[in-house]
């Protein structure tokens, strides 16, 4: 009867992932960010940013980076993170020729724009297990209050 059925993917998400990989390859890996504030996929270091009413919380994923190589500064509303990541690669004297290296190594720098009500004097950072946790408290806001007119 119909000997040549069209093959349909069994997983819609699998097919979408395949299509995304093909597009990334076609456009040179310039995948578009998930939001206007995000950078392209694969940017190092990866960053998560969230906020509450009284603070901004930032998680920076820095596996393989020594704490002493991390520099953090805040000026004019920009939180800037810089440093260098070293990784172990096979020694070429052992006869190993590296032909694919996906893990980033070398110097890096990222800047993140923060809300204008950040209290720069109270920003705190802690580095543990390859994750830099930054808490940037907001200045105490003065909630609007009713003013009686006489």
DSSP character at residue 83: E
Question: For residue 121, is pLDDT > 90?
Answer: yes
Domain 36-89+103-137 has CATH 3.40.50.2300: no
CA 17 from centre of chain: 20
Residue 19: enclosing H or E segment and its boundaries?
helix 12-26
State residue 44's pLDDT score. 79
* Global model pTM greater than 0.75: no
CA distances from 10 to 16, 17, 22, 59, 98 (A): 11, 13, 18, 36, 36
State residue 36's pLDDT score. 42
CA 9 from centre of chain: 32
| Mean pLDDT over the full length of the chain | 79
Instruction: Write out the two tokens for 150.
Output: 């006489």
Going from N- to C-terminal start, the domains of the chain cover 36-89+103-137
Q: What is the pLDDT of residues 8-63, one digit of tens each?
A: 555 666 677 677 767 766 665 544 444 444 555 457 788 999 999 999 999 999 98
């Amino acid at each position: 009867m119909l000997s040549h059925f069209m093959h349909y993917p069994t997983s819609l998400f699998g097919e979408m992932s395949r299509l995304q990989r093909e597009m990334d390859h076609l456009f040179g890996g310039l995948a578009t960010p998930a939001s206007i504030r995000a950078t392209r996929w694969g940017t190092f270091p990866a960053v998560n940013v969230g906020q509450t009413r009284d603070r901004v919380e930032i998680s920076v994923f820095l596996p393989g980076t020594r704490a002493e190589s991390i520099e953090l500064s805040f000026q004019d509303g920009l939180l800037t993170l810089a440093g260098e990541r070293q990784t172990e690669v096979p020694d070429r004297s052992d006869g190993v020729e590296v032909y694919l290296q996906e893990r980033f190594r070398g110097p890096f720098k990222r800047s993140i724009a923060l809300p204008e009500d950040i209290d720069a004097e109270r920003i705190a950072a802690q580095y543990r297990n390859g994750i830099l946790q930054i808490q940037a408290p907001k200045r105490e806001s003065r909630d609007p209050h009713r003013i009686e007119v006489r």
